[in-house]
């Protein structure tokens, strides 16, 4: 395989998580009697452009099916994050009734509904029918398409060039990152702005966040690599912010190469920090697998010990990162009887691979729970707050990444 950005041969392994089903391929009871698709989850690093990437096994249309079960609006903290962004970017860019905002992977309308409320015209691009339908119920126009250069050009020809193109947690999800980036340029007005949010590779390595690796994430991105990808498409980075979301993310602001706005000093500062962290040094990537093994083993030791003592451990959050962790560790319902999730679209289904049943949160109060394993550790505070009554009943809260932590 060659690097999906610069086409250099991929010769260096970053992480091998074995074979797993797609992390959002939740199963019905009927599905349990059928063969389950799984694909190798092997991650390599390019020693030319330093793009960390999955090997190509699964196609995007297999991963993002019409009944895709991830709805962004399930998380109240994410909704608040989106609302703050919409207000801030509208002021920063002076968006109004004559502007156009395009969001790529607009999901269930969690973000664009804020622009609708403000009277700012918008358009969602969303290939999964289940989430697109939810957005349309909020009055958001949605194109049910995968985004790339061809669609970007079609939008421009149709007079739908954007003042703002937003992409939250989509840049890592595209199999052809060069085509997607050329699409950004094609659909952007002269003087327009792109904002992309994605988990920061530097934080993934620093905090052993291997569970954020799954088939839907084709790329794991540093600012250095995104700068190279932008430049190859005729774009440049104008600003960057570090965010706390998803365990440490970047929000990159981009524009056309010929955009006359000066780049923020934050860009050079973060590039220098990445260099100090060794993100362009091969040795940085070569011992990550050992750290992932430690997290896996610590979790297994904990679950086995609690079962031996007759304690009850269940999980909260049927998140993609939880599926990576549980499948890598080989955890099934004998160690973790069920997972609770607030998303109605997941309730009554089963976790891919592990086949652990997914129940509504009310199940947590129908028996004594000694430990609640929070799988989406990035919103652990929100989940602990929502389930504070469990603590009063004696339940302790557990996270496994970046190390086993019991509160």
CATH number, position 122: 3.40.50.150
299 and 255, same structural domain? no
314 and 179, same structural domain? no
Domain end position, chosen among 226, 261, 296: 261
What backbone torsions phi and psi does residue 15 show, to the nearest 5 degrees?
Answer: -160, 140
108 and 242, same structural domain? yes
Q: What is the pLDDT of residues 144-184, one digit of tens each?
A: 999 999 999 999 999 999 999 999 999 999 999 999 999 99
In a domain, 380, yes or no: yes
In a domain, 1, yes or no: no
> What is the model's pLDDT at position 186?
98
> What is the domain count for the chain?
2
331 and 245, same structural domain? no
Neighbours of 392 (CB within 10 A): 8
Terminal Cα distance for the chain, rounded? 44
302 and 181, same structural domain? no
In a domain, 232, yes or no: yes
Give the count of alpha carbons within 13 A of 333, CB side only.
13
232 and 95, same structural domain? yes
> What is the model's pLDDT at position 65?
53
The pair of three-digit structure tokens given for residue 270, joined into one six-digit string: 């973060």
Alpha helix stretches (DSSP H) within 22-176: 60-63, 76-93, 112-117, 129-136, 149-157
Domain span including residue 241: 72-261
400 and 251, same structural domain? no
In a domain, 313, yes or no: yes
292 and 227, same structural domain? no
Q: Is 310 helix (H, G, I), strand (E, B) or coil?
A: coil
In a domain, 322, yes or no: yes
Domain end position, chosen among 242, 261, 280: 261
- With b for 16 or more beta-carbon neighbours within 10 A and e for fewer, the 318-341 pattern comes to bbbbbbbbbbbbebeeebbbbbbb
In a domain, 384, yes or no: yes
What backbone torsions phi and psi does residue 388 show, to the nearest 5 degrees?
Answer: -60, -30
Q: Which helix (H) or strand (E) holds 167?
A: strand 162-168
| Contact assessment for residue 332 and residue 355, using Cβ atoms and an 8 Å cutoff | yes
341 and 214, same structural domain? no
> What is the model's pLDDT at position 216?
87
223 and 76, same structural domain? yes
CA distances from 272 to 267, 279, 285, 293, 331 (A): 9, 10, 18, 30, 40
pTM score over 0.85: yes
In a domain, 48, yes or no: no
218 and 133, same structural domain? yes
CA 289 to the chain's CA centroid: 21
Q: What is the pLDDT along the chain (407 residues), one digit of tens a residue?
A: 899 999 999 999 999 999 999 988 999 999 999 999 999 999 999 999 999 999 876 555 555 555 554 677 777 888 999 999 999 999 999 999 999 999 999 999 999 999 999 999 999 999 999 899 999 999 999 999 999 999 999 999 999 999 999 999 999 999 999 999 999 999 999 999 999 999 999 999 999 999 999 998 999 999 999 999 999 999 999 999 999 988 899 999 999 999 999 999 999 999 999 999 999 999 999 989 999 999 999 999 999 999 999 999 999 999 899 999 999 999 999 999 999 999 898 999 999 999 999 999 999 999 999 999 999 999 999 999 999 999 999 999 999 999 999 99
250 and 133, same structural domain? yes
In a domain, 298, yes or no: yes
User: CATH no. for residue 297?
Assistant: 3.40.50.720
């Amino acid at each position: 395989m060659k690097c999906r950005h610069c086409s250099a041969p991929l010769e260096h392994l970053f992480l091998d998580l074995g074979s797993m089903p797609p992390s959002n391929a939740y199963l019905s009871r009927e599905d349990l009697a059928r063969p389950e698709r799984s694909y190798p989850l092997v991650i390599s690093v390019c020693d030319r452009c330093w793009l960390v990437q999955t090997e190509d096994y699964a196609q995007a249309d297999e991963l993002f099916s019409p009944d895709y079960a991830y709805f962004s609006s399930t998380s109240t903290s994410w909704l608040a994050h989106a609302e703050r962004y919409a207000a801030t970017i509208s002021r920063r860019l002076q968006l109004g009734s004559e502007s156009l905002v395009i969001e790529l992977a607009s999901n269930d309308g969690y973000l664009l509904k804020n622009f609708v409320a403000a009277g700012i015209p918008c358009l969602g691009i969303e290939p999964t029918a289940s989430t697109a339908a939810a957005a349309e119920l909020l009055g958001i126009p949605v194109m049910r398409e995968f985004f790339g250069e061809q669609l970007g050009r079609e939008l421009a020809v149709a007079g739908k060039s954007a003042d703002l193109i937003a992409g939250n947690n989509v840049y890592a999800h595209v199999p052809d990152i060069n085509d997607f980036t050329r699409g950004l340029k094609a659909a952007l007005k002269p003087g327009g702005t792109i904002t992309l949010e994605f988990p920061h590779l530097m934080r993934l390595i620093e905090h052993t966040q291997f569970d954020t690796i799954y088939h839907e994430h084709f790329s794991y991105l540093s600012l250095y690599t995104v700068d190279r990808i932008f430049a190859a498409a005729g774009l440049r980075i104008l600003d960057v912010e570090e965010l706390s979301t998803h365990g440490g993310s970047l929000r990159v602001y981009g524009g056309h190469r010929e955009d006359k706005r000066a780049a923020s000093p934050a860009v050079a500062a973060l590039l220098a920090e990445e260099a100090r962290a060794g993100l362009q040094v091969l040795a940085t990537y070569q011992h990550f697998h050992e750290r992932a093994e430690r997290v896996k083993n610590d979790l297994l030791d904990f679950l086995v010990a609690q079962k031996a003592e007759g304690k009850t451990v269940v999980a909260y959050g049927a998140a993609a990162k939880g599926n990576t962790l549980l499948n890598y560790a080989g955890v099934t319902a004998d160690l973790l009887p069920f997972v609770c999730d607030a998303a109605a679209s997941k309730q009554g289904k089963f976790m891919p691979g592990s086949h652990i049943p997914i129940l509504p949160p009310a199940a947590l109060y129908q028996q004594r729970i000694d430990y609640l394993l929070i799988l989406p550790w990035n919103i652990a505070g929100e989940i602990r707050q929502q389930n504070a009554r469990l603590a009063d009943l004696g339940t302790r809260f557990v996270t496994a990444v970046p190390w086993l932590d019991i509160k």
